[in-house]
Chains A and B, each alone.
Chain A
Amino acid sequence: MWKKVLIAAPYLWLLLFFLAPFAIVLKISLAEPVFGQPPYSQAMSLDNFAFLFSDKLYAVTYLRSVFMAACATLLCLALGFPMAYGIARSSRATRSLLLMLIILPFWISFLLRVYAWMGLMNNYGTINSLLLWVGIVDQPIQLIYTDFAVFVGLVYSYLPFMILPLYASLERMDLDLVEAAQDLGASRSRAFWDVTWPLARPGVIAGCLLVFIPAIGEYVIPYLLGGPESLLIGRVLFDEFFVNRDWPLASAVAIVLLLLLVVPIVLLQRYQARDQESTA
């Protein structure tokens, strides 16, 4: 009896806070915008979705968002892997200190940290002042309000989410395995690709998902650091909701974004399940 209640709890949670809201958003996405309270009609049509697919702006924005998030994810992986590897191989005492340093930024508000980057990167900010003072440049270089700034913000903010799962899978790995590969004739780099990489893959996948999913819908970073032309889907969603007050269209945008994220994850999980089956 108690067992059933316990098992039911997470399902109930998902039903209440995920499935029900999703159903509401889905319903709104099928309606038309109207003036009033609530600002949508009771109509049911796919007009909003048709509009999303007919206006190139949305397709371009989705693709840009996917591209930016994917690039940020790869950058995080490229930076995070050596860091996670280094932490996993350091002595026990240093290890907890380094992990602490990775988590430390979370103690400061996310918004505040992004603001700090504005201060660092604006035309008369710390970085430009330093470059001017040293004499590397004659006039400030445009850092803020560029895609570069968005990448800096994304990578900076989401790097810990990459490092922690990577660390978890690398820390468990037996160092003897790498030596065994070398002993059997693999060079250092060969041993890495034959042993370390495949064994770290669960961590790589988890880290990539943890970075990619929030990055794709990220609103604050592109809004504060990105240029006016760097329209991303999070921004579109926000504008449709709060500027145009077109709830149905905004909901449609959200539903499409969700599908965009869910489909690859489901595929990935199926792949992993099959992988595990062949192992078990």
Chain B
Amino acid sequence: MKDFIRIRGVSKHFGDFAAVDSVDLTIEKGELFSILGGSGCGKTTLLRMLAGFETPTSGTIEIDGVDVTNQPPYERHVNMMFQSYAVFPHMSVENNIAYGLRKERTPGKEIARRVDEMLELVQLGDFRSRKPDQLSGGQRQRVALARALIKQPKVLLLDEPLAALDKKLRERTQFELMNIQDELGVTFVVVTHDQEEAMTLSSRMAVMDNGRFQQVGTPKEIYEFPANRFVAEFIGTINTFKGRVAAVAEDGIKVYSTEAGVTLTALGKQLVEEGQEIEVAVRPEKIFVSKEKPDDDDDVCIEGVVDDLGYLGNRSLYRIRLESGKIVQVSSQNRRRSVTRFLEWEDKVWISWRALSAVVLLD
């Protein structure tokens, strides 16, 4: 179904401060949607408005065709997994999971059956009578997940679901969450500050800053075609070159950049005019480093020297200094095993990229 969650013109003010500033968003049924942003960007406030813990200053929120803007949390068919997990410390795993159904006055037999189902789903069958302080962080998180899912909510809200887990567990949990979401078909809305988490988890995501959405789209769209400077810099690393539009042609925009020392080509989804001052951006992994000048004429080639380099195992990072003093970051896969370094400090190199790997950034 289209427009399962419909957020229209929602703002939330705390005194003079607009935590969320007239946000519009629609989320489809069964989507795994992420809201990504730094701390204080308003993402948590937005989530809390979906859960019912905050009432919007203006605007409306509809879920499955019902206006829930002023509904208290206990009347919404929305459940939340808290960042702290908020597992009740004085109740056993079983009682934690059953809590929501008990409040609905579901018959005891039904509760027992569904608790068993949930325990199996999150693989906590052996831990049913344990108290939360006898569980690991990952297990507690699964209790929180089961407790929220047992009510068969229309929407599950997840506040920084992976933030408190260590790296290995995070990767595993990420895929578990995706599998559960796939299996149950519940709409997930995830709030996170971790771009990697947002990129891998979500079918679509929104990047938020200053209470507003900077861009909404699939992870790929957002990474490859950032709408503005904020999004480009927030998601991953990016090299930017200041320049002036020399020509607007069919196959891209020609931008002369003194920083780069050459004319760059870029895909400009946005409208630019000749003579306009803009920025052209290229991701570090789109750039190649070589000792000899590459001979492909379509590529952008610039000469520079190695300013710094770092070995990360699976890839290497280079900082290349151009003649203008501009530092360009390059990330290259270490495809071949080699003990000796391919490049050394102050080596003369060429950097190059496919002309259309670059995008135009407007502020």
Q: Is B224 an interface residue (CB 8 A)?
A: no
169-200 of chain A: CB within 8 A of chain B: 174, 176-177, 179-187, 190, 194-195, 198-199
Residue of B nearest to A180 (CB): B86
Q: Enumerate chain B residues within 8 angstroms of A174, measured Cβ to Cβ.
A: 84, 86
Q: Is A109 an interface residue (CB 8 A)?
A: no
Q: Nearest Cβ distance between residue A257 and chain B, in whole angstroms?
A: 34
How many positions in chain B have a CB within 8 Å of any CB in the partner chain?
A: 25
Contact call A184/B84, Cβ cutoff below 8 A: no
Docked pose: A280 CA to B89 CA in angstroms:
11
Q: Enumerate chain A residues within 8 angstroms of B79, measured Cβ to Cβ.
A: 183-184
Docked pose: A177 CA to B79 CA in angstroms:
13
Q: Nearest Cβ distance between residue A278 and chain B, in whole angstroms?
A: 8
- Summed over the interface, the residue pairs from A and B with CB atoms below 8 Å come to a total of 64
Contact call B90/A198, Cβ cutoff below 8 A: yes
Residue of A nearest to B82 (CB): A176
Q: Is A91 an interface residue (CB 8 A)?
A: no
Q: Enumerate chain A residues within 8 angstroms of B74, measured Cβ to Cβ.
A: 182-187
Q: Is B273 an interface residue (CB 8 A)?
A: no
Q: Is A279 an interface residue (CB 8 A)?
A: yes
Q: A185-B151, A186-B103, A190-B103 are in contact. Are A180 and B82 (CB under 8 A)?
A: yes
Name the residue in B73, B104, B148 with the highest tally of chain A Cβ atoms < 10 Å from its Cβ: B73
Q: A179-B73, A199-B90 are in contact. Are A185 and B84 (CB under 8 A)?
A: no
Q: Nearest Cβ distance between residue B158 and chain A, in whole angstroms?
A: 12
Q: Is B280 an interface residue (CB 8 A)?
A: no
Q: A177-B88, A198-B90 are in contact. Are A184 and B131 (CB under 8 A)?
A: no
Q: Enumerate chain B residues within 8 angstroms of A186, measured Cβ to Cβ.
A: 74, 103
Docked pose: A187 CA to B103 CA in angstroms:
9
Q: A184-B103, A199-B90 are in contact. Are A176 and B84 (CB under 8 A)?
A: yes
Residue of A nearest to B150 (CB): A184
Q: Is B51 an interface residue (CB 8 A)?
A: yes
Q: Enumerate chain B residues within 8 angstroms of A194, measured Cβ to Cβ.
A: 88, 99
Q: Nearest Cβ distance between residue B94 and chain A, in whole angstroms?
A: 14
Docked pose: A179 CA to B159 CA in angstroms:
13
Q: Is B147 an interface residue (CB 8 A)?
A: yes
Docked pose: A80 CA to B48 CA in angstroms:
31
Docked pose: A9 CA to B88 CA in angstroms:
39
Q: Is B137 an interface residue (CB 8 A)?
A: no
Docked pose: A177 CA to B80 CA in angstroms:
12
Docked pose: A110 CA to B53 CA in angstroms:
45
Docked pose: A116 CA to B53 CA in angstroms:
46
For A188-226 the 0/1 string (1 means CB < 8 A from B) is 001000110011000000000000000000000000000
Residue of B nearest to A278 (CB): B131
Q: A184-B151, A185-B104, A279-B133 are in contact. Are A179 and B53 (CB under 8 A)?
A: yes
Q: Nearest Cβ distance between residue B48 and chain A, in whole angstroms?
A: 9
Docked pose: A182 CA to B88 CA in angstroms:
12
Q: Nearest Cβ distance between residue B68 and chain A, in whole angstroms?
A: 13
Q: Enumerate chain A residues within 8 angstroms of B78, measured Cβ to Cβ.
A: 183
Q: Enumerate chain B residues within 8 angstroms of A187, measured Cβ to Cβ.
A: 72, 74
Q: Is B125 an interface residue (CB 8 A)?
A: no
58-88 of chain B: CB within 8 A of chain A: 72-74, 78-80, 82-84, 86, 88
Docked pose: A176 CA to B53 CA in angstroms:
11
Docked pose: A161 CA to B219 CA in angstroms:
57
How many positions in chain A have a CB within 8 Å of any CB in the partner chain?
A: 20
Contact call B73/A182, Cβ cutoff below 8 A: yes
Contact call B88/A195, Cβ cutoff below 8 A: yes
Q: Enumerate chain A residues within 8 angstroms of B80, measured Cβ to Cβ.
A: 179-180, 183
Residue of B nearest to A184 (CB): B100
Docked pose: A279 CA to B95 CA in angstroms:
13
Contact call B72/A182, Cβ cutoff below 8 A: yes
Name the residue in A174, A180, A199, A279 with the highest tally of chain B Cβ atoms < 10 Å from its Cβ: A180
Q: Nearest Cβ distance between residue A175 and chain B, in whole angstroms?
A: 9
Contact call B86/A176, Cβ cutoff below 8 A: yes
Contact call B103/A179, Cβ cutoff below 8 A: no
Residue of B nearest to A173 (CB): B89
Q: Enumerate chain B residues within 8 angstroms of A179, measured Cβ to Cβ.
A: 51, 53, 73, 80, 82, 86
Name the residue in A183, A199, A279 with the highest tally of chain B Cβ atoms < 10 Å from its Cβ: A183
Q: A182-B74, A184-B79 are in contact. Are A177 and B86 (CB under 8 A)?
A: yes
125-171 of chain B: CB within 8 A of chain A: 131, 133, 147-148, 151
Q: Enumerate chain A residues within 8 angstroms of B103, measured Cβ to Cβ.
A: 184-186, 190
Docked pose: A261 CA to B88 CA in angstroms:
33
Docked pose: A135 CA to B350 CA in angstroms:
97
Q: Enumerate chain A residues within 8 angstroms of B86, measured Cβ to Cβ.
A: 174, 176-177, 179-180
Q: Nearest Cβ distance between residue B128 and chain A, in whole angstroms?
A: 14
Docked pose: A185 CA to B101 CA in angstroms:
8
Q: A185-B74, A190-B103 are in contact. Are A180 and B88 (CB under 8 A)?
A: yes
Q: Enumerate chain A residues within 8 angstroms of B90, measured Cβ to Cβ.
A: 198-199, 279
Docked pose: A198 CA to B89 CA in angstroms:
10
90-111 of chain B: CB within 8 A of chain A: 90, 99-100, 103-104
Docked pose: A180 CA to B103 CA in angstroms:
12
A184 touches which one: B53, B83, B99, B133 (CB < 8 A)? B99
For A252-280 the 0/1 string (1 means CB < 8 A from B) is 00000000000000000000000000111
Q: Nearest Cβ distance between residue A55 and chain B, in whole angstroms?
A: 46
Q: Enumerate chain B residues within 8 angstroms of A195, measured Cβ to Cβ.
A: 88
Question: Residues on B close to A: CB < 8 A?
Answer: 51-53, 72-74, 78-80, 82-84, 86, 88-90, 99-100, 103-104, 131, 133, 147-148, 151
Write 10 A-B pairs (CB below 8 A) sorted by A numbering: A176-B82, A179-B51, A181-B99, A184-B151, A185-B74, A185-B100, A185-B151, A187-B74, A194-B88, A195-B88
Q: Which 6 residue pairs across A and B have the least CB separation, nearest first?
A: A185-B103, A184-B100, A176-B86, A180-B86, A182-B73, A176-B82
Question: Residues on A close to B: CB < 8 A?
Answer: 174, 176-177, 179-187, 190, 194-195, 198-199, 278-280
